[in-house]
Structure 1
Amino acid sequence: MSFHEIRFPADLSFGSIGGPERRTDIVQLTSGHEERNTPWAHSRRRYDAGLGLRSLDDVEALIAFFEARQGQVYGFRWKDWADYKSSAPSRPVAMGDQVIAYGDGVSRSFQLIKNYTSGGVTYARPITKPVAGSVIAAVQDVERREGVHFEIDVDTGIITFDEVPLDGVEISAGFEFDVPVRFDTDRINVSVASFKAGQVPDVPVVEVRV
């Protein structure tokens, strides 16, 4: 996959709008009931990068970033200011934030995930773009340190422990993360006059699977 491990300027993504999108197939039955199914196991996020722009310098930075990615060709990292860490927005990241797996006595590598729970139902979102230096982990509530007890692949979100966790032990982690995205357009229209008047370009960004 064509992907650049670079983050869209975080000061430009601040103020943008966006969030998760689901795809649902709905079949209306003759009885009036519905059958609802989804072909997607995971949600997909969309954003508008244009709404974070505040000056002509911001526009220039956006155009440079767009040109370097060759429009839609190369993906990149995006900071979703509404959802960018394992903990609640008001709390710092902690090693027990997310239970990512339970040991089986064989595996040493595990995918980082973030769990979303409501009404007794949990959705586990794979985290594939953790922020370098932000990941902390624990095995059965005992802290493990990066570079000493585990390594993290920041390109995939795979954490690998030096020692195999015992069968049944809880493995947890805390982290900050980015969303892998690409531009959802091959064109950016900017009017200097209208921008100064408070108008901003429409710059759609969409999450990609990695």
Structure 2
Amino acid sequence: MAFHEVRFPANLSFGSVGGPERRTEIVTLANGFEERNTPWEHSRRRYDAGVGLRSLDDVEALIAFFEARRGQMFGFRWKDWSDYKSGKASRVVSAFDQIIGAGDGKTVQFHLCKTYRSGAETYLRPILKPVAGSVVVAVDRDLKMEGLEFSVDPTRGLITFETPPDTGVVISAGFEFDVAVRFDTDRIQTSVASFQAGDVPNVPVVEVRV
């Protein structure tokens, strides 16, 4: 898939509106009960990049970014300010935020992931676009050093250890991450007069599978 490993300006995405979207197919039976099913294993996020624009300079930066991506042609990174850390938003990233696997004495590669919990239910979200330099890792609660004991592929969310972790040890990680998205339009309409009056353009952005 055509993707540029560049982040949409974070100062422009701050204040944007958006979040996860699910697809649920609902059939109402003759007795009034429902059958519900979903073809999606993972949610898909949508945002409006126009809400974060505060000045004409912001509009110029948006247009430059849009043109460089050729509209919907190329995907890019997006910082979701409401959900961009492995742990709580108010806390510093910790190597013990998320359990990403267990050692078996052979496997050296593990994918980053984030678990969402509510009551007894959980949802495991793959993290494919970690922020370079933000990933910290621990094996059996022993902190590991990036570059010496493990490496990170920030384009796939993959951790690779120099030596396979021992059987049964817990592997945990902390990180910041972006969302892989693209513009959901091939046209941006702006007006200097309307912008100065307080109106902002509608710039839809949608998550893509990578």
Distance 2:28 2:106 in 1: 47
User: How much identity, in percent, do the aligned residues show?
Assistant: 69
Task: State the shift of 1:125 in Å.
Answer: 0.4
Task: State the shift of 1:63 in Å.
Answer: 0.2
CA distances 1:74-103 after superposition (whole Å, capped 9, x unpaired)? 000000000001110110000000001111
| Structure 1 equivalent of residue 126 of structure 2 | 126
CA distances 1:98-146 after superposition (whole Å, capped 9, x unpaired)? 0011112221101100110001111110000000000000011111111
Letter in 1 for 2:59: V
Letter in 2 for 1:91: R
Q: 3-12 or 164-173, which moves further after superposition?
A: 164-173
Distance 2:191 2:75 in 1: 26
| Structure 1 equivalent of residue 116 of structure 2 | 116
Structure 1 stretches of 4+ moved >4 Å: none
Distance 2:154 2:134 in 1: 10
Task: State the shift of 1:26 in Å.
Answer: 0.7
Letter in 2 for 1:198: G
Task: State the shift of 1:167 in Å.
Answer: 1.7
Distance 1:113 1:107 in 2: 17
CA distances 1:168-206 after superposition (whole Å, capped 9, x unpaired)? 211100000000000000000101100000000000000
For structure 1, list consecutive stretches of 5 or more residues without a partner in the other structure.
Answer: none
SS in 1 for 2:86: coil
State the number of aligned residues.
Answer: 210
TM value normalised by structure 2: 0.99
Distance 1:29 1:140 in 2: 50
| Structure 1 equivalent of residue 44 of structure 2 | 44
Distance 1:100 1:77 in 2: 22
Task: State the shift of 1:68 in Å.
Answer: 0.2
Distance 1:75 1:175 in 2: 22
SS in 2 for 1:62: helix
Counterpart check, 1:209 vs 2:209: yes
Residues 123-162 of structure 1 mapped to structure 2, 5 A cutoff: 123-162=123-162
SS in 2 for 1:200: coil
| Structure 1 equivalent of residue 89 of structure 2 | 89
Residues 18-97 of structure 1 mapped to structure 2, 5 A cutoff: 18-97=18-97
SS in 2 for 1:18: strand
SS in 2 for 1:66: helix
Letter in 1 for 2:16: S
Residues 154-193 of structure 1 mapped to structure 2, 5 A cutoff: 154-193=154-193
Task: State the shift of 1:60 in Å.
Answer: 0.3
Distance 1:205 1:85 in 2: 20
Counterpart check, 1:11 vs 2:11: yes
For structure 2, list consecutive stretches of 5 or more residues without a partner in the other structure.
Answer: none
Please tell me the root mean square deviation across aligned C-alpha atoms, in Å. Answer: 0.6
| Structure 1 equivalent of residue 102 of structure 2 | 102
SS in 2 for 1:93: coil
